[in-house]
Structure 1
Amino acid sequence: MSDPIVVINPNSTEAVTKSMSDALDGLRVPGGPEIECLTNPDGPPGVESQADADLAAVQVREIVARRANSASAFVIACYSDPGIHAAREATDKPVFGIAESGMLRAMSIREKFGVIAILDRSIPRHMRYIRALGFESRLAGERALGLGVVELSDEDRAYARLVETGRDLRDKDGAQAVVLGCAGMARYRQALEEELSIPVIDPTQAAVSNALTNTLIKSS
């Protein structure tokens, strides 16, 4: 049996970890590696600013370094991919970021994608990363819910805002697929996809799928 795929929630909100873990149940296959989701207990309640991302980056790197010999791969489950480059220096195991993986998944199935962010102030941070990855030409737009990470647990309010924001990305910006810009949105993916009638990508599922494929290929 291979070591687990370790999925790190860089914030300290256990509800986010549970939501993303539940969304990964379909990837927990018989004979496959364990998918272990853990919370960063010292992190901010949500990664909602550059300062939050910078703090979480150091903590993520430390978690990866501690688990370097007891994981087959790592997934950083925050849409800023905080600490991804430092984490890759800390281990010889693959490290996947959910933003990078989610956008790559979107671009593999549609020409233009949109991103749903949590807050307006998240968008400049995401845009810096999108430009650094070279994905800007494929981005239709990014729009914010106006809800913080903790507020995503208010299901009626969060889902209504997701539908409204997703429709704006589709109808006003021309997005042909939507990437959820926070791991805490995972529980809404399927219903939102049915509502919008375009692909809606949970980036944590995309990143863990990449990690799972890598692990299974290595063990075959």
Structure 2
Amino acid sequence: MRICFLGTSERVSYLQNHAKNGVHLDNMADFVGTAARPLSVESRCEELELAVWVIEQSIEAEKRGFDAIVTGCFSDPGVEAAREHVCIPVIGPGETALLTARMISHHFSILTPLPETIPLAREQVYRLGMHPFVASIRSLGASVAKIRDRDLETIDRLITLGRDCVDREGAEALVFGCASMSLLADEIAPKIGVPVVNSVLLSLRAAELLVRSGLTHSKKTFPVPIKSRACTATASNNDSVE
């Protein structure tokens, strides 16, 4: 099995060092870094910029023989559009994390990096129909770059915020609304006392599960774009003439 992970080198290093319990990295031949693309998504503009790249890389990954694609941004830019262009599973960490949180709890809180990213998380919650189950969406007040530094002050703030969601807002689980934050999940969960969803590892496991189960997204839900169909048909006709 070959899974293409579209993420930063930091997340690649994390996966190589920590992947376990069913994710077999020796089966993942390539990790595709986000060079020349936004290394973090903190606005809708960056979402759109990354989405185009995700679509392009997904098409290329399928051509290269990968069995599944996992994207590396919690807001899942380009995931649904990429599903229209390929037949192999395309997994987004945000969708995977939210659906998992609903499965293991009745109410959960989402922690995002910045106040500006709260609307992005809220839009995703409503798009997936998860709003009845969200206790709160809170901001850490730190940029993605700051979170990646893993300084003790940021980690302490994250623990305090998580405890506040549990004690005051009734959260029974936590979802970190940023893939870089998810890399801290295993470290922070024991200090908060509720499950903390690690969206990055869960996404890889979800991709592996779908491939092993012979499942992928429905083309009734994600049909090939009409213009792409026309281009494919034209190319096939030209090949026949030759």
Q: TM-score, normalised by structure 2?
A: 0.81
> How many residue pairs get matched?
213
| 1:136 counterpart residue number | 131
Matches within 5 A, 1:69-148: 69=63, 70-148=65-143
Instruction: Measure how far apart 1:181 and its partner are.
Output: 1.3
Distance of aligned partners of 1:45 and 1:20 in 2 relative to their CA distance in 1, 3 Å threshold:
same
| 2:166 counterpart residue number | 170
Separation (CA, whole Å) in 2 of partners of 1:211 and 1:113: 23
Q: CA RMSD in A?
A: 2.0
| 2:177 counterpart residue number | 181
Separation (CA, whole Å) in 1 of partners of 2:19 and 2:54: 20
| 1:7 counterpart residue number | 5
- Indicate the SS of the match to 1:71: coil
| 1:216 counterpart residue number | 212
What residue identity is the alignment partner of 1:14? S
CA deviations on 1:57-91 (whole Å, 9 max, x unpaired) are 01111110111132111111211100011110121
Instruction: Measure how far apart 1:25 and its partner are.
Output: 4.3
Q: Percent identity?
A: 27
Q: TM-score, normalised by structure 1?
A: 0.89
1:28 aligns with 2:23: yes
Gaps of 5+ in 1: none
- Indicate the SS of the match to 1:56: helix
Instruction: Measure how far apart 1:35 and its partner are.
Output: 6.6
- Indicate the SS of the match to 2:74: coil
Distance of aligned partners of 1:173 and 1:200 in 2 relative to their CA distance in 1, 3 Å threshold:
same
The runs of at least 4 aligned residues of structure 1 exceeding 6 Å deviation read none
Task: Report if the CA contact (8 A) 1:44-1:56 is conserved.
Answer: yes
Distance of aligned partners of 1:36 and 1:141 in 2 relative to their CA distance in 1, 3 Å threshold:
farther
Matches within 5 A, 1:48-59: 48-59=42-53
Larger Cα-atom Rg: 2
What residue identity is the alignment partner of 1:139? V
Task: Report if the CA contact (8 A) 1:102-1:206 is conserved.
Answer: yes
Distance of aligned partners of 1:50 and 1:20 in 2 relative to their CA distance in 1, 3 Å threshold:
farther
Separation (CA, whole Å) in 1 of partners of 2:56 and 2:41: 17
- Indicate the SS of the match to 1:116: strand
Work out which of the residue numbers 161, 168, 190 in structure 2 matches 1:194.
190
Task: Report if the CA contact (8 A) 1:19-1:186 is conserved.
Answer: no
Q: Which moved more, 1:144-153 or 1:132-141?
A: 144-153
Work out which of the residue numbers 199, 212, 237 in structure 2 matches 1:203.
199
Which has the higher relative contact order, 1 or 2, with Cα contacts under 8 A spaced 6 or more apart? Answer: 1
